[in-house]
Structure 1
Amino acid sequence: MADKREKWILMAVLPFIAVLLLAVWSVKPRVDEVRTIDSKAGTWDLAAAGFEQSAVRLDGDVEYVPDALLSPEEFSRRGDIQAGQPGDETQYATSRMRLIIPSGSYLICGYSVDFASRMYVNGELLFEAGAPGDSRESARPGVKFFVLPVSPDENGEIVIVQQASNFIHKDGGSYGHFYIGTPEQIDQYISRNLWPEVILMGVYLVLFVVHLILYLMMRNYKPNLLFALFCLTWFVRTGVTGQRLLDVILPKLPWVVLFRLEYLTMPLSGILLVWLLYLIFPGVLQKWFSLAASILCGAVAVLDVFASTLLISYTAVWRVVLLGVIALYFFVRLILRWRRPAAEQAAVLSGFAFLVFAAVWDMCYHRDVFLLPALRFAISEVAIAVFVLFAMTAMFFGTMREVRMAREREERMAAEKAAAEELARLKGEFYTDLSHEMKTPLTVMVANAEFAARNIRAGAIDEETGVDLDAIAAEGRRLAKLVNGLVNLNRMRDKGAQDTVVSLAKLTEETARTYKALAEKQGSRLSVEIESGLPAVNGNADQLAQVVINLLANAGRHTRDGVITVSLRRESGRLRLEVADTGDGISPEILPHIFDRFCRGDESGTGLGLAICREIIENHGGKIDIQSDMGKGTTVWFTLPVIGE
């Protein structure tokens, strides 16, 4: 019932989470909201760009001089200027962009050229990211997001000269990919790009703190710790990619640290995700696979920490392949071992399904195929956030289940403590009763032994001496019965391994036949009434025979020249056995306590027979009861469940 309710909650909550995050991500500027204008031989004609409507994205070729770091003046004097984009094989170059634009104040924004750059606008140095150089030793890498105020010169042009170098990555950066517009347009563009990522970082950080606290409160539920670390990892990754907010928060953090963190978060995510799936989907991922995947991801992580940035850049594709193989293996194992998922498993699988959907969506998007025209943007980044929040829902259900289990453990421990206290109380009562029951015959035996000894020493052995010795023997026999009953009571509790299919009808008939001669010797008649075609019961034949013998012995002890009737019949899916007699009956004062240990109807018994009968019957899943009228007789009956009902 609880699992069904949880799945109804999932059906309501998960779509809401996905729609909410898509709504947040849709705040980011769409492709069709910004005009893209291409250059012609390094010159952009923006005279009719229509800045009153939207900002403009600059794309296309630039003028450049390879293998040279030049000032604007030096660039103008060069005769080897080329048009196009410096390729990845060009490790350092200087480029120039000419923007023909109406007069006014503008802002340009974008990321600096990878992986060190210096920018001049109309001959004035306005921006540096790292320090471009003509060798690995002289260059200092750095990448930053820039926002610069610009205005056309007296010729109506904005001339941008950039020096850039790259000795630390296999891919070179693109030159000339900027956004330009009025200050209001660029400010809005930056804000719309910035705030969704701020929200995501905030969500990751909050989830990290919350689930870390949950883990500290309930250390038995390890997925909370893994999920908290996964959220922290993606908090860092979101901060070092996209708008690089971590660079804004920690401006003095070296670029190489940010670079390593960007790559390091992938293998760390792989390790955490593998063990999270191992715990949430028990039996799907084998432990050896989780260990092997962790070792491989760990090796990649060590590479990200200690290897050169150039070597790390060559592993980008392989780390994606590694994570893809892990995901593929998980899905294959999941299909092979498929069973109806629990609520937390359904939430994680829904997150994975959304990731697959996002991958297909982005493939279509980058080929200008829009599955939903209203949502013209890539969703891979938001898909990770959706997966994280779906997993958060799974952690919620898992934590609640752990809370329920902890509560049940506490209740079970409380019940066990109460049972132990009750056992101690009963044990005390048992020893008290036992002491009392044994004290009486021992006292009689001691007294009679003293009388007999006195007579023997005095040489006055007479009939009274014989009576004293007979009394000692009688009390000894009573003590023997008492001890025998206690042994039977203890032996009766160890019955589980001896349970078999028992024909209670046959057992009753054989036991009654054995007891019939004894009843006739006492002048009583034993009548047996067994319904035909009765089913069997499950139990211990010796113990059930002991119950019937005890009941017949009690009836015979209290019946002289009367009738003892044994009957067995089926009644409401159970077998009911009755032993009725026409004997003395039991007094109303004793009757309510007749099944208690050491409760006797007369001095001839031990007070353990009916107590043993009750424990045997109750341990077989049955019930036993008694009815008696003084001077009219007693009826004892018990019921047992039949096999299959």
Structure 2
Amino acid sequence: MDGGKSTVRSINQNKNHEFKGMLSVTVYLLAAALVCVLVTRLCAIHFEVVNAQQPGLTDLTDFDFDSSIAQVATESTGSIYIYAGAFYTSEDFAAGNISVDGILYDRTEGAQGDYGTLRMELRLPPGEVYAIAAKNPSYAQRLFIDGKEYSAIGIPGDSAETTVPKTARFVEAFLPQGDTTEIIFHYSNFVHADGGGLYPIDIGKVTSIVRNEQLSTIQTTAVIAGLTAIMLFFFGLFLFFERYKYLLWFSLLCGCIALRVIGSGLLPILLPELSWALEIRLSYIGTCLMALFASLYIASLFPGAANKWAMRSFAVFCGGCVMFICLAPTTVFTRYPVELSLAYIGFVAYLLLTMLWRALRGTLSFALSKPERRLLLLGLILFALLSAADIFAHQRALLLFGLSYQAVGMVVFLFLNMLALVMSFSRTEQELDAVRESQREIQETNRMLERLNRARIDFLNNISHEMKTPLAVISSYAGLTISQLRRNAMDEQTEENLDRVQQEAVRLGRLVEQLMKVSLEKERQLTLTDTDANTLLHRAADYCEALCRGHNNQITVACHPAHIPLRVNPDELFQVQLNLITNANRQMRDGVIALSAQQDEQNGQTVFCVADSGKGIPPELLAQVFERGVSGNGGTGLGLAICREIVREHGGQIDIQSGGSGTTVRFTLPLAKGGNQP
């Protein structure tokens, strides 16, 4: 009755834990969504895409700059003309000194040639001061507004020798001088294979542009601060729980993402004199390390999901990419952003497919529970989709919430993973509570066993005392009887003496029987000697050969390798094999009993196997065959129970498998120290 109540109580506790866990996750997600909405509302960057009304001209005279914080992005290819291979000024365009035909700029193709001129015209409401903000369209730029030259970023030139590359985001204020405002960029790009594409240009009132720039910086800073906090938190957890490797990979992944966001958003602000080459190398290396740590993280959460050689090959590939990025010229490795991204995404896809395949086969092991795995899967899918979108958005300089698609995907991925890991630790705490409860029950059981042990000791002392009495009686009456026999004086007293001896002998037998029952329960003391598996197998096979011949059964022996050193009690192990062979022989005729042993160096053990081709064990008995008194043929039900006790005393494990045709019993023994030495 108490066991049933305990089981019901345990089931109810598990249900309560599951309900509380679901409620906590729901509250957490609602709170996170609320915070995201508030931050989005407070840090909202409003912009409106305006297309050119005619090639090269964007008319903003009817645009209401006061209705909202306006950010105008020139996304239309009809907004800008490009003149490749020549630097032209406003005077050149006014005088018609243009020797290169201009073509409409296509952002999907980037700038044409290594240097040239970009020109666009705007119509703005008069009487206001406006500002233009963007990232420079190449690795060197000079800006002209209405013929006036503004601050340059680097020095554009017509060759690599005359160009000083630099990249940065710029904000310039200007006052329109007439109905049409002319904007000209001189660009040079001899250091990047991308062609120096033009990023979206934001145009609005000075206050609006400045506010948008500030909000963009706040967004980037918030993301970096969050990633850094997550990195330090989980790295600290790893220092205390070193066996959970996925904590280390997750923290390093957060650090790589934070480094990449810093490089693309804050690094030019924090270190304006930073080398453009170092900046771009850090960006590419960060992406490579992100892919590596993400793969290691996934593999550690799902042990065995990926082939170890595949993981090692990918790690070598990532290391080679890092070396290639560090040593190759920027014009070389920047030619392959799409190829590298596809390689990273391809390996992640391989991990997902392998996990799916193993899950369908039932061979996938998990470090997390089902709800946590669902969150991880959702994060991986979103990250893969947004990373794929980022490949195509890269050439178009498209952003989502002020960040690249891949950055947003990684933030979502990290957010869901963080939630999953927190849920895992919550589940671990619940399991620890269950372990503490189990320990209390074990302590109570130990106290009960101590009381039973004291009672057994008292019983043995009583038995020892009681045995002295019948022995003394038997000795006395036996002596009297011998004396009478010597004197040839047998009478009725002699018969009475013998009756007394018989009675005391019977009573002594009962006492011995009780003592044997108690002694069977005391702790066994093993004497271990050096031997080998092959010797044990052949000893058992030779001894049982005649027994098996009565049922016309054969015994085969196989040992791989031929010599497997063991330190065991040979007589005890002989008893195990004898019991198993006897059971197999009893269940079949005209069959084969296969004895085998195989060395498992990885786990430091030897695996013994006794297999027969008999009728097998009924399914209803299979789960209980190692219990005392359980037998399917009317026997004592002690053979397998004794085998399990002996194997466990040697530090091994035993299990049994049985189907419609045959039974296989496997048990393990630890290898002798020194390995497999002949």
Please indicate the TM-score interval, normalised by the length of the shorter structure. 0.5 to 0.7
Matches within 5 A, 1:42-81: 51-52=65-66, 54-58=70-74, 60-62=79-81, 64=83, 66=85, 80=99
Which of 216, 220, 225 is the matching residue for 1:197?
220
**SS where residue 415 of structure 2 aligns?**
helix
- How far apart are residue 474 of structure 1 and its match? 8.6
Matches within 5 A, 1:110-509: 110-119=134-143, 126-133=150-157, 135-136=159-160, 139-152=163-176, 162-174=185-197, 178-241=201-264, 244-281=265-302, 284-336=305-357, 337-338=359-360, 342-355=370-383, 381-412=407-438, 427=453, 430-431=456-457, 433-435=459-461, 437-439=463-465, 441-442=467-468, 480-481=512-513, 483-489=515-521
Which of 102, 110, 117 is the matching residue for 1:83?
102
**SS where residue 127 of structure 1 aligns?**
coil
Q: Is 2:86–2:100's contact at 8 Å kept on the other side of the alignment?
A: no
CA distance in 1, matches of 2:199, 2:227: 34
Q: 1:72 to 1:245 in 2, by over 3 A?
A: same
Q: Which amino acid aligns with 2:414?
A: V
**SS where residue 311 of structure 1 aligns?**
helix
Q: 1:342 to 1:283 in 2, by over 3 A?
A: farther
**SS where residue 146 of structure 1 aligns?**
strand
**SS where residue 350 of structure 2 aligns?**
helix
Q: Which amino acid aligns with 1:348?
A: L
CA distance in 2, matches of 1:275, 1:539: 43
**SS where residue 294 of structure 2 aligns?**
helix
Q: Which amino acid aligns with 2:280?
A: F
Q: Is 1:131–1:139's contact at 8 Å kept on the other side of the alignment?
A: yes
Matches within 5 A, 1:8-19: none
Q: Which amino acid aligns with 2:192?
A: H
- How far apart are residue 259 of structure 1 and its match? 1.6
**SS where residue 129 of structure 1 aligns?**
coil
- How far apart are residue 316 of structure 1 and its match? 0.9
Q: Is 2:135–2:199's contact at 8 Å kept on the other side of the alignment?
A: no
Gaps of 5+ in 2: 1-14, 525-571, 584-619, 632-641, 646-678
Q: Which amino acid aligns with 1:262?
A: S
Q: Which amino acid aligns with 2:207?
A: E
| Equivalent residue number for residue 600 of structure 2 | none
CA distance in 2, matches of 1:330, 1:476: 73
Q: Is 1:49–1:56's contact at 8 Å kept on the other side of the alignment?
A: no
Q: Is 1:221–1:402's contact at 8 Å kept on the other side of the alignment?
A: no
- How far apart are residue 56 of structure 1 and its match? 4.0
- How far apart are residue 131 of structure 1 and its match? 4.4
**SS where residue 180 of structure 1 aligns?**
strand
Gaps of 5+ in 1: 369-374, 501-534, 546-615, 620-645
Alignment RMSD (CA, Å): 5.7
Matches within 5 A, 1:596-611: none
- How far apart are residue 110 of structure 1 and its match? 0.8
- How far apart are residue 318 of structure 1 and its match? 1.3
**SS where residue 209 of structure 1 aligns?**
helix
Q: Which amino acid aligns with 2:331?
A: L
Q: Which amino acid aligns with 1:386?
A: V
Per-residue CA deviation, residues 345-388 of structure 1 (Å, 9 max, x unaligned), is 1112233454577689999999x9xxxxxx99996653443332
Larger displacement relative to structure 2 (177-186 or 1-10): 1-10
| Equivalent residue number for residue 565 of structure 2 | none
CA distance in 2, matches of 1:152, 1:205: 44
Per-residue CA deviation, residues 288-334 of structure 1 (Å, 9 max, x unaligned), is 44444444344334433443322221221112222332343344445
Q: Is 2:460–2:515's contact at 8 Å kept on the other side of the alignment?
A: no
| Equivalent residue number for residue 105 of structure 1 | 129
| Equivalent residue number for residue 556 of structure 1 | none
CA distance in 2, matches of 1:479, 1:250: 93
| Equivalent residue number for residue 50 of structure 2 | 35
CA distance in 1, matches of 2:121, 2:227: 42
- How far apart are residue 172 of structure 1 and its match? 1.7
Q: Which amino acid aligns with 1:151?
A: L
Larger displacement relative to structure 2 (113-122 or 10-19): 10-19
**SS where residue 328 of structure 1 aligns?**
helix
Q: 1:406 to 1:261 in 2, by over 3 A?
A: farther
Q: Is 2:61–2:123's contact at 8 Å kept on the other side of the alignment?
A: yes
**SS where residue 376 of structure 2 aligns?**
helix
Q: 1:541 to 1:132 in 2, by over 3 A?
A: closer
Q: Is 1:118–1:164's contact at 8 Å kept on the other side of the alignment?
A: yes
Q: Is 1:18–1:386's contact at 8 Å kept on the other side of the alignment?
A: no
CA distance in 1, matches of 2:229, 2:275: 26
Q: Which amino acid aligns with 1:313?
A: T
Q: Is 2:216–2:402's contact at 8 Å kept on the other side of the alignment?
A: no
CA distance in 2, matches of 1:121, 1:284: 58
CA distance in 2, matches of 1:344, 1:289: 25
- How far apart are residue 144 of structure 1 and its match? 0.8
CA distance in 2, matches of 1:382, 1:92: 33
Q: Is 1:169–1:309's contact at 8 Å kept on the other side of the alignment?
A: yes
CA distance in 2, matches of 1:346, 1:124: 58
Q: Is 1:37–1:56's contact at 8 Å kept on the other side of the alignment?
A: no
Q: Is 1:133–1:165's contact at 8 Å kept on the other side of the alignment?
A: yes
| Equivalent residue number for residue 534 of structure 2 | none
Q: Is 2:111–2:197's contact at 8 Å kept on the other side of the alignment?
A: no
- How far apart are residue 395 of structure 1 and its match? 1.4
Q: 1:122 to 1:62 in 2, by over 3 A?
A: same
Q: Which amino acid aligns with 2:347?
A: I
Q: 1:259 to 1:472 in 2, by over 3 A?
A: same
Per-residue CA deviation, residues 196-226 of structure 1 (Å, 9 max, x unaligned), is 3333333323322333333344444433333
CA distance in 2, matches of 1:22, 1:379: 19
Q: 1:90 to 1:328 in 2, by over 3 A?
A: same
CA distance in 2, matches of 1:286, 1:416: 41
Per-residue CA deviation, residues 254-278 of structure 1 (Å, 9 max, x unaligned), is 3333322322233323223323333
Q: 1:37 to 1:357 in 2, by over 3 A?
A: same
Q: Which amino acid aligns with 2:233?
A: V
Seq. identity, %: 20
Q: Is 1:112–1:144's contact at 8 Å kept on the other side of the alignment?
A: yes
- How far apart are residue 430 of structure 1 and its match? 4.0
CA distance in 1, matches of 2:627, 2:267: 78
CA distance in 2, matches of 1:541, 1:332: 43
Q: Is 1:180–1:186's contact at 8 Å kept on the other side of the alignment?
A: yes
CA distance in 1, matches of 2:376, 2:626: 50
TM-score, normalized by length of structure 2? 0.57
CA distance in 2, matches of 1:34, 1:400: 47
CA distance in 2, matches of 1:354, 1:7: 22
CA distance in 2, matches of 1:204, 1:423: 54
**SS where residue 438 of structure 1 aligns?**
helix
- How far apart are residue 393 of structure 1 and its match? 2.0
Q: Is 1:28–1:193's contact at 8 Å kept on the other side of the alignment?
A: no
